[in-house]
Structure 1
Amino acid sequence: MAMRKREEQVFPNAAGVDVGASSHWVAVPAHSTDAPVREFGAMTDDLTAMADWLLGCGVDVVALESTGVYWIPVYEVLEQRGLKVWLVDARQVKYVPGRKSDVQDCQWLQKLMSHGLLRAAFRPSADVCVIRAVARQREVLLTEQASWVQRMQKALVQMNIQLTEVISDVMGLTGQAIIRDIVAGERDAKSLARHRHRRIKASEEDIVRSLTGNWREEHLFVLKQALGMYDDIARHLRECDEKFRELLAERSAASVDIGKTPRTGSKARAAFDVRQQLANWAGADLTRINGLGLDTVMKILSEIGTDLSHFANVKHFCSWLGLCPATKISGGKVLSARTKRSANRVRQALKMAAMSLSHSDSALGAFYRRLCGRMDKPRANTATAHKLARMVYFMLTRGEAFVDQGQQRYEEQQRQRNIAALKRRAAALGFQINPLQAAA
Structure 2
Amino acid sequence: MEVVHPAVAGIDVHKKILWVAIRLPGAHQPFVRSYRTFWRALQKMAAELVELGVTDVAMESTGVYWWPVYHALAQTGRIEVCVANAEHLKSVPGRKTDIRDCQWIAELHQFGLLRPSFIPAQDVAALRHRTRYRKKLIEARMSEGQRLAKVLEDAGIKIDSVASKLLCVSGRDMIEALISGERDPYLLAGLARGVLRHKHEDLVAACDGRFTATHATMCRLHLDAYDHTTGKITELDGLVAEAATVFEPVITRLMTIVGIGRRTAEVIVAETGADMSRFPTPEQLAAWAGLAPGNRESAGKRRRAATRKGNKHLKAAMVEAAWGASRTRSRIGARLRRLVRRFGKQHAKKAAVATAHTLLRVCWVVMARGEDYREDGGDFYDRREARQAHYLAARYQKTLERLGYQVTLIAPGPGPEDHPDPQQPEEPAA
TM range (shorter): 0.7 to 0.9
Q: What residue number does 1:80 align with?
A: 75
Q: 1:29 Cα shift? A: 0.8
Moved more, 29-38 or 240-249: 29-38
Moved more, 27-36 or 53-62: 27-36
Contact 1:25 / 1:102 at 8 angstroms: preserved in 2? yes
Task: State whether structure 2 residue 221 is matched by structure 1 residue 225.
Answer: yes
What is the rounded CA distance, in whole Å, between the counterparts of 2:88 and 2:399 in structure 1? 49
Moved more, 110-119 or 397-406: 397-406
Aligned match for 2:178, one of 174, 178, 182: 182
Matches within 5 A, 1:299-310: 299-310=267-278
Post-superposition CA distance 1:131-169 (Å, at most 9, x none): 111111111111111111111111112221222222221
Distance of aligned partners of 1:44 and 1:163 in 2 relative to their CA distance in 1, 3 Å threshold = same
What is the rounded CA distance, in whole Å, between the counterparts of 1:155 and 1:336 in structure 2? 43
Q: 1:69 Cα shift? A: 1.1
Matches within 5 A, 1:98-113: 98-113=94-109
SS in 1 for 2:277: coil
Task: State whether structure 2 residue 31 is matched by structure 1 residue 36.
Answer: yes
Q: What residue number does 1:21 align with?
A: 15
Task: State whether structure 2 residue 306 is matched by structure 1 residue 312.
Answer: no
TM score, norm. by length of structure 2: 0.85
Post-superposition CA distance 1:168-222 (Å, at most 9, x none): 2111111112222322333343443332112215533432332222232222221
Distance of aligned partners of 1:357 and 1:241 in 2 relative to their CA distance in 1, 3 Å threshold = closer
SS in 1 for 2:10: strand
Matches within 5 A, 1:48-87: 48-82=43-77, 83-87=79-83
Q: 1:330 Cα shift? A: 3.6
SS in 1 for 2:58: strand
Distance of aligned partners of 1:428 and 1:385 in 2 relative to their CA distance in 1, 3 Å threshold = farther
Distance of aligned partners of 1:198 and 1:355 in 2 relative to their CA distance in 1, 3 Å threshold = closer
Q: 1:65 Cα shift? A: 1.0
What is the rounded CA distance, in whole Å, between the counterparts of 1:78 and 1:88 in structure 2? 15
Contact 1:284 / 1:395 at 8 angstroms: preserved in 2? no
The one-letter code matched in structure 2 to 1:326 is G
Distance of aligned partners of 1:164 and 1:334 in 2 relative to their CA distance in 1, 3 Å threshold = closer
Moved more, 146-155 or 285-294: 285-294
Q: What residue number does 1:260 align with?
A: none
SS in 1 for 2:135: helix
Aligned match for 2:316, one of 326, 348, 367: 348
Post-superposition CA distance 1:89-141 (Å, at most 9, x none): 11212253441111111111000011010111122221111111111111111
Distance of aligned partners of 1:66 and 1:176 in 2 relative to their CA distance in 1, 3 Å threshold = same
Moved more, 59-68 or 111-120: 59-68
Q: 1:13 Cα shift? A: 1.6
Aligned match for 1:387, one of 347, 353, 358: 358
SS in 2 for 1:232: helix
TM score, norm. by length of structure 1: 0.83
What is the rounded CA distance, in whole Å, between the counterparts of 1:428 and 1:122 in structure 2? 54
The structure whose Rg is larger is 2
SS in 1 for 2:333: helix
Contact 2:251 / 2:266 at 8 angstroms: preserved in 1? no
Q: What residue number does 1:139 align with?
A: 135
Distance of aligned partners of 1:297 and 1:283 in 2 relative to their CA distance in 1, 3 Å threshold = closer
RMSD over equivalenced CA pairs, Å: 2.8
The one-letter code matched in structure 1 to 2:376 is Q
Task: State whether structure 2 residue 317 is matched by structure 1 residue 323.
Answer: no
Size of the aligned set, in residue pairs, is: 405
Q: 1:427 Cα shift? A: 5.8
Contact 1:32 / 1:57 at 8 angstroms: preserved in 2? no
Post-superposition CA distance 1:6-35 (Å, at most 9, x none): xx3111122111111111111111448897
Q: What residue number does 1:158 align with?
A: 154
The one-letter code matched in structure 1 to 2:337 is R
What is the rounded CA distance, in whole Å, between the counterparts of 1:337 and 1:156 in structure 2? 43
Post-superposition CA distance 1:373-419 (Å, at most 9, x none): 44454554343322222211111111122111223454223211133
Moved more, 153-162 or 284-293: 284-293
Percent identical among aligned pairs is: 32
Post-superposition CA distance 1:283-324 (Å, at most 9, x none): 751122122233322221222121121122223222222333
Task: State whether structure 2 residue 389 is matched by structure 1 residue 418.
Answer: yes
SS in 2 for 1:203: helix
Task: State whether structure 2 residue 3 is matched by structure 1 residue 9.
Answer: yes
SS in 2 for 1:63: strand
Distance of aligned partners of 1:159 and 1:173 in 2 relative to their CA distance in 1, 3 Å threshold = same
Moved more, 31-40 or 132-141: 31-40
What is the rounded CA distance, in whole Å, between the counterparts of 2:299 and 2:211 in structure 1? 71
Structure 2 segments unaligned to the other structure (5+ residues): 414-430
The one-letter code matched in structure 1 to 2:171 is G
The one-letter code matched in structure 2 to 1:225 is L
Contact 1:328 / 1:335 at 8 angstroms: preserved in 2? yes
Distance of aligned partners of 1:343 and 1:211 in 2 relative to their CA distance in 1, 3 Å threshold = same
Moved more, 195-204 or 167-176: 195-204
